[in-house]
Amino acid sequence: MWIMRAAMAVFTAFVLSLLLGRVLIRRFTARGVGEDTTKTDSDILKKLHEGKQGTPTMGGLFLVAGMAVSAALWMRFDGPHGFSTWGILVILWYAAVGLVDDWIKLNVEGKLGMSKKAKQLLLTVGAVGIALVLQHHAGLEAEHGGPRLYLPLVKDYSLDLSVWAGVPFMLVCVLVLTGSANAVNFTDGLDGLATGCVAIAALAYVVIAYLVGHEVLAEYLLVEHVPGCSEMSVLLAALLGACLAFLWYNAAPAQVFMGDVGSLALGGALGYVALVSRTELVLLVVGGVFVAEALSVIIQVISFRTTGKRVFRCAPLHHHFQFGGMPETRLVIRTWIVGLLLALSSLALFKIR
């Protein structure tokens, strides 16, 4: 039964991540694998985060491990469930990219990680690979309607992404997967901020993926039915359980940070489920907090390069509010509240046509 497997995925991921986290945090602490908060040009940030100096990082390792093992145990991989294997693989690929970035950051003197171009290239390679798999092998083939872009609030209209040998779908995959991964990465700057927001978004997508994968409910809600998509709700249930376990250690004051190994994997997971469920535009609402964080960085960079002036006190957006004097815990909880409201709003889009 689906609901039992989803519940067990949450529980299994939580327990595994919690136990593994306890072990890894001890080892990271003993080996001095900690965050260097002095690697910033902002004296204000150094002052705000001086208490976080040396906090163990790369905690995303136990988060991703618990999620992947739980998903492998409780997801179905038979018949129309071709999305399952590739969901786990794309998460592991993005985690591997983040792990390399974290390793360079911690072990190469004067480096803040791999270059932005190299990181984006590796993320893009994963996204292109997933685009090819989804369109030709995993369940979005032409006989199943092909990849299409559906517009929220609009009935009986979609954009065909399979034209020109599927290049439009490939571009959408790159934008959704790399954009989601980078957006979550930008958000990961305060204790519990990114983890809580991802957990809320995952909970919303558990519902969305199940509805899209259920033929009767999809027809009732006038959304495109994608056979096998319901298994993505089990994947996200595992992600939710792992996030809750990570939040156990990451709540203020944090005992561990997730690092890029965690943030890129979590963002990639959300992006992948959005692609499979054909709700890429709905992801902009579900992950509205991540969108705002990413846009703040883009706006800040463009403004400074073109006019020499900054729009925000500091980017990403959460630092802007920090610089304004808002306490970290209050900022995190308020952001969670906004994320929850956005998640609820996204579910309403399924009924309004």
Q: What is the DSSP string of 184-253?
A: HHHHTTSTTHHHHHHHHHHHHHHHHHHHHH-HHHHHHHT----TTTTHHHHHHHHHHHHHHHHHHHHSSS
The pLDDT value recorded for residue 229 is 87
Taking only the tens place, the pLDDT of each residue in 32-74 is: 777 776 666 666 776 767 777 778 888 999 999 999 999 999 9
CB–CB of 242/283 below 8 Å? no
Q: CA of 93: how far to CAs of 98, 130, 267, in Å?
A: 9, 11, 12
Which residues, 6+ apart, have CB-to-CB distance to 43 below 8 Å? none
Taking only the tens place, the pLDDT of each residue in 74-114 is: 998 876 777 889 999 999 999 999 999 999 988 877 677 78
Strand partners, 160: 148
The residue with greater pLDDT, 39 or 293, is 293
Nearest Cα to Cα of residue 190 among 54, 48, 312: 48
CB–CB of 202/289 below 8 Å? no
The pLDDT value recorded for residue 336 is 97
Output the CA torsion sign for 346, 252, 58, 21. Answer: negative
Q: What average pLDDT does range 201-215 have in this prediction?
A: 92
Label residue 323 exposed, middle or buried (CB < 10 Å: 0-12, 13-18, 19+): middle
The C-alpha atoms of residue 277 and residue 236 are separated, in whole angstroms, by 13
Percent of the chain with pLDDT over 70: 91
Please say if the pLDDT value at position 160 is more than 70: yes
Strand partners, 158: 150
Taking only the tens place, the pLDDT of each residue in 312-340 is: 998 899 989 998 889 999 999 999 999 99
The pLDDT value recorded for residue 137 is 67
Q: Which two tokens stand for residue 70?
A: 């739980």
Percent of the chain with pLDDT over 90: 58
The pLDDT value recorded for residue 134 is 85
The full set of domain ranges for the chain reads: 2-281
Strand partners, 159: 149
Q: Which amino acid is at 19?
A: L
E-strand ranges in the chain read: 148-150, 158-160
The pLDDT value recorded for residue 143 is 54
Q: Which two tokens stand for residue 270?
A: 């959300």
Give the pLDDT band of residue 25 (cuts 50, 70, 90): very high
Residue whose pair of structure tokens reads 């969901």 in the numeric block = 87
What is the pTM (predicted TM-score) of this model? 0.93
Residue whose pair of structure tokens reads 């909970």 in the numeric block = 203
The pLDDT value recorded for residue 350 is 67
The C-alpha atoms of residue 223 and residue 29 are separated, in whole angstroms, by 49
